[in-house]
Amino acid sequence: MLFFKRQLPLAIAFFFGMVGFFAQYIPHHSFEALYNELISWVRLLYAFALILGTYSLLRLHSKRIERKAPGFGYSLVLWAGFIATFAAGMYNDGRGFLAGQSDSGMLMWIYDYVFKPAGATMFSVLAFFIASAAYRTFRARTTAAGMLLASAIIVMIGRIPIGDMISEHLPILASWLMEVPNAAVKRGIFLGVALGVVATSLRIIFGIERAYLGGD
Amino acid sequence: MRRSTLKKLLDLDRRWIFLTVLICAIGARFVDFELPVYPKAGVRAMYDKIEEVAAKNGTIIVSMDYDPSSKPELEPLSRALLRHAFSRKVKVIAMTHNPNGQRLAQTVLEETASEFDVKYGDDYVLLGYKAGSGTLVINMGQDFRDAFSKDHAGKDLASFAVTRELTSIAQIDYVISVSASAYWESWMIYGHDRYGFPYGVGVTGVIAPDIFPFLQTGQVTGLVGGLAGAAEYETLIKKPGMAVTGMKPQSAIHMLLVLFVLFGNFVFFYDLVLKRRQEKGHREERRT
């Protein structure tokens, strides 16, 4: 079975990687058609990845419940939430799962009154934790940390309307920090990431990188 | 000040900090004061671009790529953009790359449209959500109808005036991604760079620094960063809304954070000075 676990996935990765690569450089209509077809396939794969992701998540939490691992109560909440949301989605306000998504009903109620407030709460809580972290850990222990701290203060005040009230130079200084040193560093990071992506892609296409095949 | 007092200040129970933040945020909403909002170049560029599209009676795509966790920061911008577009009779195609964003996009679109004399299908359309992100954008460029043949409610796009003639996103006059994650990159790499449509970005304050290099190269035309950027946009369209209102608590919290950082550092270094003095004293004591 090594063929299905190793050789076949490697051959598929090599073939489609090469097709995707050459399609960018060969302006022939047949290659363009093939590329368009592959793009549609990728979108289908996204949908399958969603199913696989859901399965993995539920399996992980089932195991936690079975083992009664610390905090397994949260796993029960996850399962309950999944079952309720899935059932509401399938029922689709009485229209059934084959019809288009209804604008009302239980699923929309869950979205409006559970999911939305919970998401907003998670985001709002950040302000409290940032304030606590700012007070406790943001220390100018070294020259570099001192520079970072000074820049952070300038940007924090300069990017909000109150910065204009304090001094007209503050927003200008904040913009300079964002547009010159920040942009320079970001460019370097982006170039590095892009080169890394190229290198990793080549390693996968040529079968050097095999971590995605799993450990078995 | 004694070192023990400083230690107490350094190890201050974080609940006191939380309480201060809460009081500051709520208090700022009730204290009556005005803050000047001056639009920055990136925000003005997006406004000007929509004005340019309006002048030629064009169409824009507003991709609301965020979910409820980023709604407080990004929804004011979506509303301001749509208000601007509808008031200038710009046709709008709304969509989302975020699976949890369709309901938000629909609510914002319907509520904003109800403020103007615009009609679904003739002036605006909601495509909804489809999986794929970057590949979906490529697909929209290759064959728009292949990517989206129907709107969010399952109605054929050929039946709507906004989308009837549309075959590729290359025909769109301006695409704006209001994004809370890497979706803005998909639009730029697989959309703007391939099909050449003008592209603007509205993002959370945390993501905004990532966009500056692309703003400078011209790959991005218009950048609105965070709630402050949305407030600037609201000021430009002369319709102050949630973002301008939100500037008061945000400014107050920013100032509080700065005070926390400065005070924390003052206490830390003062404690360090006292510690060194104490150690020096002990050494001299031992010598004598």
| Same-domain check for residues B147 and B264 | no
Chain A CB contacts of B208 below 8 Å: 178
Say yes or no to pLDDT of A216 above 60.
no
Q: Tell me the nearest-neighbour CA distance from A117 into chain B, angstroms.
A: 7
Evaluate whether residue B35 is within a structural domain.
no
Domain boundary among A65, A93, A119: A65
Cβ distance of A116 and B228 shorter than 8 Å:
no
Say yes or no to pLDDT of B130 above 70.
yes
Question: Other CB atoms closer than 10 Å to residue B51's CB: what's the count?
Answer: 13
* Closest of B216, B224, B213 to residue B43, by C-alpha: B224
Please give the residue of chain B at the shortest CA–CA distance from A152. B258
CB B104 within 8 A of CB B72: no
| Same-domain check for residues B253 and B123 | no
Map tokens 């220390």 to a residue.
Answer: A139
| Same-domain check for residues B177 and B258 | no
Structurally, chain A folds into a number of domains equal to 2
**CA-CA distance, A130 to A142, in Å (whole number)?**
21
Angle between helices B102-113 and B71-87 (to 10 degrees): 40
Please give the residue of chain B at the shortest CA–CA distance from A112. B103
Evaluate whether residue B270 is within a structural domain.
yes
Predicted local confidence at residue B11, as pLDDT: 82
CB proximity under 8 Å: B 187-226 to A: 205, 208-210, 212-213, 216, 225-226
Predicted local confidence at residue B4, as pLDDT: 76
Of A138, A157, A187, the CB nearest to B213: A187
CATH number for position B227: 3.40.50.10160
What pLDDT, in 10s, does the model give residues B209-245?
999 999 999 999 999 999 999 999 999 999 999 999 9
Cβ distance of B100 and A101 shorter than 8 Å:
no
* Closest of B141, B128, B132 to residue B64, by C-alpha: B128
Q: What is the token pair recorded at B76?
A: 């004011």
Please give the angle made by the CA atoms of B11, B16 and B22, to the nearest 5 degrees: 145
* Closest of A211, A205, A146 to residue B261, by C-alpha: A146
| Same-domain check for residues B105 and B234 | yes
CB A130 within 8 A of CB B257: yes
**B221 in helix, strand or coil?**
coil
On average, the pLDDT of chain B sits at 92
| Same-domain check for residues B14 and B52 | no
CB B96 within 8 A of CB B60: no
Angle between helices B226-236 and B71-87 (to 10 degrees): 20
Question: Other CB atoms closer than 10 Å to residue A85's CB: what's the count?
Answer: 16
Does B72 lie at the interface with A, CB-CB under 8 angstroms?
yes
Domain boundary among B218, B240, B262: B240
What pLDDT, in 10s, does the model give residues A22-31?
888 888 888 8
CA dihedral B176, B64, B129, B103 (to 10 degrees): -150
Evaluate whether residue A18 is within a structural domain.
yes
Proportion of chain B above pLDDT 70, given as a percent = 100
Range of the domain at A33: 1-65
Range of the domain at B173: 41-240
Going by pLDDT thresholds of 50, 70 and 90, the confidence category of residue A10 is: very high
Beta pairing class for B199-203 and B59-65: unpaired
What pLDDT, in 10s, does the model give residues A103-161?
888 999 999 999 999 988 888 888 899 889 888 888 888 999 999 999 999 999 998 88
**CA-CA distance, B1 to B288, in Å (whole number)?**
27
A100-104, A139-143, B11-15 — which is least confidently predicted? Answer: A100-104
Domain boundary among A39, A65, A91: A65
| Same-domain check for residues B151 and B13 | no
Going by pLDDT thresholds of 50, 70 and 90, the confidence category of residue A215 is: low
| Same-domain check for residues B166 and B144 | yes
Say yes or no to pLDDT of B7 above 80.
no
| Same-domain check for residues B155 and B257 | no
CA-CA-CA-CA torsion sign (B31, B32, B36, B37):
positive
Chain B CB contacts of A186 below 8 Å: 209-210, 212-213
On average, the pLDDT of chain A sits at 89
Please give the residue of chain B at the shortest CA–CA distance from A178. B209
Angle between helices B242-287 and A143-158 (to 10 degrees): 150
Q: Residues near B103 by Cβ (< 8 Å), separated by ≥ 6?
A: A108, A111, A112
* Closest of B229, B202, B92, B210 to residue B151, by C-alpha: B92
Chain B CB contacts of A124 below 8 Å: 72
Going by pLDDT thresholds of 50, 70 and 90, the confidence category of residue B1 is: low
| Same-domain check for residues B18 and B60 | no
DSSP symbol at B93 = E
**CA-CA distance, B84 to B238, in Å (whole number)?**
10
What pLDDT, in 10s, does the model give residues A32-84?
888 888 888 888 888 888 899 999 999 999 999 999 999 999 999 999 999 99
Evaluate whether residue B273 is within a structural domain.
yes
Q: What is the token pair recorded at A182?
A: 């920040």
| Same-domain check for residues B138 and B265 | no
What pLDDT, in 10s, does the model give residues B53-99?
999 999 999 999 999 999 989 999 999 999 999 999 999 999 999 98
Q: How far is CA A95 from CA A92, B128, B275, B282, in A?
A: 5, 19, 72, 82
Evaluate whether residue B34 is within a structural domain.
no
What pLDDT, in 10s, does the model give residues B144-171?
998 999 999 889 999 999 999 999 999 9
| Same-domain check for residues B48 and B122 | yes
Q: Tell me the nearest-neighbour CA distance from B248 into chain A, angstroms.
A: 9
Cβ distance of B216 and A179 shorter than 8 Å:
yes
- Output A163-170 pairs: Cβ under 8 A, ≥24 positions apart: A164/B36, A164/B38, A165/B35, A165/B36
Domain boundary among A65, A87, A108: A65
Q: What is the ipTM of this complex?
A: 0.81
CB A139 within 8 A of CB A130: no
| Same-domain check for residues B180 and B216 | yes
Evaluate whether residue B54 is within a structural domain.
yes
The residue of B10, B29, B103, B144 whose CB has the most chain A CBs within 10 angstroms, and thus the best one to mutate to test that interface, is B103
Evaluate whether residue A166 is within a structural domain.
yes
Evaluate whether residue A96 is within a structural domain.
no
Structurally, chain B folds into a number of domains equal to 2
